[in-house]
Chain A
Amino acid sequence: MSGVIVHLPRESGGADGEPRADAVTLRLGPGEVARFGRGPASVPVELRLDDPAISRLAGEIRVTDDHWQLTNHSTAHSYLVENPEGAGEYLRVPPRRIGAPIPFEFSRVVLPTRGEATVSFQVFAPDHLYLDPDAMGVPWGNRTVTAYSLNETATYFLVLVALCEPRLRDQSRVAVPTTPRIVERLSGHLASGELTARAVSSHIDYLAEEKLRVGAPDSPEPGRSDRRNGKREEIVGLALRFGLVREEHLALLPPLARTGGQERQAAR
């Protein structure tokens, strides 16, 4: 369990379109709290949202069990929590609501501002757990279960299946597909729009760091690109070895344009 990750991207939250100095990432363990708002003066906040329309203490995030709760300190504004992968799924957290439980693994918290633009940040809750396919239909409380589980409807899972596809199809030790290959393989398949190369990379990072916690965390990072490639190989190896991705998951991918795919591969 990793708790919850709060991510404030670099480009958002800037006052009057000015970019913020840096992206902010907070990692919260179970029971931990992060406050957000315009900050400082009387109330220090862990996540500063620099917009005059946002109160000094706008709200707080509390990690509970495998999810998180949102408290809205605003007396006037509702906050929206969107599920970017949920085909328009969202929650509205009304003013002064305490501890609204948020069920999404991926959330975008949207705060209204005076202008057109909104201020938003992301919250990831990677600890959501899914039943073991082998153990369906039996009480699970005291059962031995797989400790790593993946949401098979999430985009990251689709990326993972695409990464594993060559090995699943012919069992040979073919190279793990590159990011552009994944983008191409999944193009036009996602309801939520096209995947960018950056999105694929961040899904891979998310899988490696939050879902599978690949490799020794204390290993140094010599040559970032080498490591990145190693990471892909490792994710695929683990997902296959421990049965997290199986043959039946290939059905999630768009049908293979057999000849086209092979030609492209040959051309590479």
Chain B
Amino acid sequence: MSAARTTGDDLTDVLPPGCRVGDWVVTRLIGSGGWSTVYAARPAGRGPGRSGSAASPPDRGDVALKIMPTAGLSPRQVRSIVESARREVELGRRAGHPRLIGFREWFVLASPERPFLEGAIVLVMERATGSLRDLIDAGVPETDRGRLIAGICEGLAHLHRSGWVHADLKPENVLLGRDGSVKLSDFGLATELTGTHGYAPPMGTMDYFPPERWKAPLGELGVPIRPTADIWALGVIIHEVFAPGVPLFAGATPMARGAAVQEYGEGRAALRVDPAVPPLWRALATDCLAPTHQARARHTAESLLARMTTAHRRTRVVGAGRRGGRARTAALATALCGVSVAALCSDTARTAPGAPPGLVRVYNAERGCREPVDLDLRCSLGLAVDPLLPYTAENVVQTRVWHGDVLTTDCQMHGGDPVVDEEDRQSTRWFRIRLPAGSGPSTAWLPAVRTREVPALPECR
């Protein structure tokens, strides 16, 4: 986005706020690349009063205008710009999805008063609030990381299922919607698969090139691209999000890092994933970053996405202490629409004011354990096997729970083993908790002092 600060010469080419483009009015410059400039805009019908100042968050009707000038370019350059626009339009029309930036319309600008824009191609797209790059630079909250990656993976799964390859996946092209949801964008290099390959122009971003790309032959149609190229880029992004600032491949320049990628691809160097990356994401990143196309092909966006959910469910149930694990689970629940997440941690329930009947939210009396940042095992709480026996280490199931977790309960029992918490509250009441399938006993018991909510429940028989 710093590219927006152009030199004096180029300033004349920047549209001032208030300038009308088709049915839209420019509100501000968002950024510019080699071929295009992106502006924030609002519908021309709407008064500027409502949209407020340029810095205010985008309104629902606001759009982004991607303007690709063609004036003064050679016919060949124009052709490649038209082709890039055509890819975006076609993909936007045919492969719409909540995880892809919404495409509205496109038109060619007739602009006699601004000759540099005469004949420019304008793409009208959903307005995002920022990019994953901005977020990485500012620091991705630990609680958001898994959700963002799952969102990207979901978008990729949809693209690949629809027969497209993005071919330029990078944090700059992962935008964030008004609700923080992931929106893949910039399909200027996206290609539709014909058989196992698609073809993209010989362009891309070197830090996201898989090893085989460095040796890819150039043909009439461009460079052969396969979905595994996007999977590699996803692996790089996982590492960037979970180990911000730690280079995956060493080197001062993209070329140097590209050389390191090739050394790895040819088996002369090992992959060094930063230890800060949590185990689940390390495993996913490692598979995304398998050195060859063949090894990577086993890991489709869909299979990776499935692992993000199921591995997560399992992790939570086994209760191994994972940094940020709980937050991720919750976040995943929102990100993975349509994918059923274990009821052990349901996000809808979590955000509801007071759990509805059948759900209890875990409360930890220790203040230090209520921070949503860390899944420290010391902060975990046990569920009893038998509520009539003493609530000790021998009498708990493997599943651990943490403060804020929302559990499914089907009945309650009075007169169990009395439990006193750290705040001296005492109760003999227990809730029977349903555990996810495959976790040994199908139920366990939560002492009533471990929640602040008292749902109306039938007595257990």
Contact = CB atoms under 8 A, between A and B. Distances in A.
Interface of A: 1-3, 29-32, 63-66, 127, 129, 132, 134-135, 137-148, 212-217, 234, 237-238, 240-243, 246-247
Interface string B256-272: 10111011001011000
Majority DSSP secondary structure for residues of A touching B: loop
Interface string B199-215: 00111111101000111
A147 B229 CA distance: 15
Contacts, number: 116
Given A140-B254, A144-B189, A242-B201, 19 more contacts: A29-B263, A31-B269, A63-B259, A65-B253, A66-B258, A132-B34, A134-B34, A134-B35, A141-B207, A141-B254, A144-B204, A147-B202, A214-B219, A241-B76, A241-B220, A242-B202, A243-B74, A243-B80, A246-B77
User: Sorted from nearest, which 7 A-B pairs have the closest CB atoms?
Assistant: A30-B259, A65-B256, A1-B214, A135-B34, A134-B34, A31-B263, A213-B217
Nearest to A2: B215
A69 to B, nearest CB: 12
11 contacts: A29-B266, A65-B256, A143-B34, A144-B205, A145-B205, A146-B203, A147-B206, A147-B213, A214-B219, A242-B218, A242-B222
> Which of A142, A146, A247 neighbours the largest number of chain B CB atoms within 10 Å of its CB?
A142
A246 B6 CA distance: 25
A63 B219 CA distance: 27
A147 to B, nearest CB: 5
Contacts of B3: 138-139
Contacts of B189: 144
Interface residues of B, number: 48
A131 to B, nearest CB: 10
B133 interface: yes
Interface of B (DSSP majority class): mixed
Given A65-B256, A66-B255, A144-B204, A32 B268 contact: yes
Contacts of B204: 144-145, 147
B170 interface: yes
A65 B33 contact: no
B252 to A, nearest CB: 9
B53 interface: no
A216 B170 contact: no
A49 B253 CA distance: 35
B172 A142 contact: yes
B205 to A, nearest CB: 5
Given A65-B253, A132-B34, A147-B203, A142 B133 contact: yes
A215 B219 contact: yes
B34 to A, nearest CB: 4
Contact of B218 (A66, A148, A240, A243): A148
A65 B249 CA distance: 12
